[in-house]
Amino acid sequence: MKISWTGKIYAYAKLQSQYRRNKWRITLNLPLNFYDFTIRDTPLQQQQRRKQFTFEPRLNASYDATPFWTLSTTIDRQNTFGEIDDVFYGYLLRTYRNIERRNAPLPANVSHGGRLNASYRNPVASIFGHISYSKRLIDNNLIYITQINANGAAESYALALSNRATNQVLMAQVSKYFTELSTQVTLEGQFMQTERPQIINGVAATVRNQIRSMVFD
């Protein structure tokens, strides 16, 4: 099996506006992009092409609440496309119990997200930190189907069906620099949760993944 990009064209135009007044800073980006993908599988005589304009606005606003604290928020829209490895018309043996096929359109996702952030900077005390929360709604053009047999073997493939996934991240970090020791100590924690629909053995399900981490450095 041999799949190749026979064409990948990308062009864009970008408009940016920035506003500053007193403690406020507001930035607005209005990029317009054009994508042209062509994928060809010569041995299986399969090919597909996707041409699309995308509009991906991004608004960022920040406010200096005090000399130490800065509050900010970001709202944006993003378009993402899959890579060549996301499309294969034949069967691919991932492991001895997992076979996969993705004879479906190129993955194309549209997401809308927002982020809230609070940052603390105290150069005199050498203390720095921030806490943020973000949430993103992701509209996908493909849903993944898994069929698990009685012997534990799994067959997976993609189906062209619109669906929505969500991603949430809560993160906090604080650091302190000790001048007398020439050492910086950092404590960081993160919680991430993703939810996406999937079809398992013919039954629609929601797959939820959670990741918790704590790092002391």
pLDDT tens digits, 88-132: 666 777 777 777 777 778 889 999 999 999 999 999 999 999 999
Contact in structure between 61 and 29 (CB atoms under 8 Å): no
Q: How many CA atoms lie within 13 A of 178 on its CB side?
A: 6
Q: Mean pLDDT lowest for which of 2-16, 25-39, 183-197?
A: 2-16
Residue at 161: amino acid letter = L
Q: Strand, helix or coil at 12?
A: strand
Residue at 183: amino acid letter = T
Q: What is the pLDDT of residues 52-83, one digit of tens each?
A: 888 999 999 999 999 999 999 999 999 988 77
The sign of the torsion formed by the CA atoms of 14, 61, 64, 178 equals negative
Structure tokens at 4: 């190749």
Residue 126: DSSP 8-state: T
Contact in structure between 115 and 171 (CB atoms under 8 Å): no
Cα separation, 41 vs 140, in Å, equals 24
Q: Strand, helix or coil at 27?
A: strand
The pLDDT assigned to 36 comes to 84
Cα separation, 30 vs 34, in Å, equals 14
**Using alpha carbons only, how large is the chain's radius of gyration in Å?**
23
The pLDDT assigned to 3 comes to 45
Cα separation, 19 vs 29, in Å, equals 12
pLDDT over 70 at 1, yes or no: no
User: Could you tell me the pTM of the whole model?
Assistant: 0.80
Task: Tell me what the mean pLDDT of segment 147-175 comes to.
Answer: 90
